[in-house]
Amino acid sequence: MVLQNVVFDPVEVLERGVLEPLDVGAVFVERLVVMQADLQRVIDDQQLYTRMTTRIGWLAVPDPLGHWIASNFDPSPQLARLPVRVLLGTVAIRAGRFEVGGDGR
């Protein structure tokens, strides 16, 4: 991740040794890999609290359609509404992992 135009209080950094950003102009996710085993752990933990179903909004959809939507989903409109500009590298769903950025292999 790359943070651009970070605003912070240098006195806090010097006195406490802690960097607490007050504002960030933009966040760039250049490279991110989430492995299937890690994602499965998160899903398993969530299943303790909710019943997982494939839904698009309120509509239950067949799994193949849900997977197609997830693999072709463009998050740009949602990211544009955030108070900080967020840019992602190319998003890919691959066997055993979810990738942002990388060389496209």
Angle at 18 between CA 33 and CA 26, to 5 degrees: 50
The pLDDT score that the predictor gives to residue 14 is: 93
Predicted local confidence at residue 93, as pLDDT: 79
- What are the distances in angstroms from CA 17 to CA 8, 9, 75, 104? 12, 11, 36, 39
Residues 6+ apart with CB under 8 A from 9: 20, 22
- According to the model, what pLDDT value does residue 48 have? 62
The domains of the chain are located at: 2-101
pTM higher than 0.85? no
Give tens-digit pLDDT for 17-73. Answer: 988 889 999 988 888 888 888 878 877 776 665 555 666 666 777 777 776 766 666
Q: How many CB atoms lie within 10 A of CB 8?
A: 14
**Res 15 pLDDT > 90:** yes
SS3 of 46, please?
helix
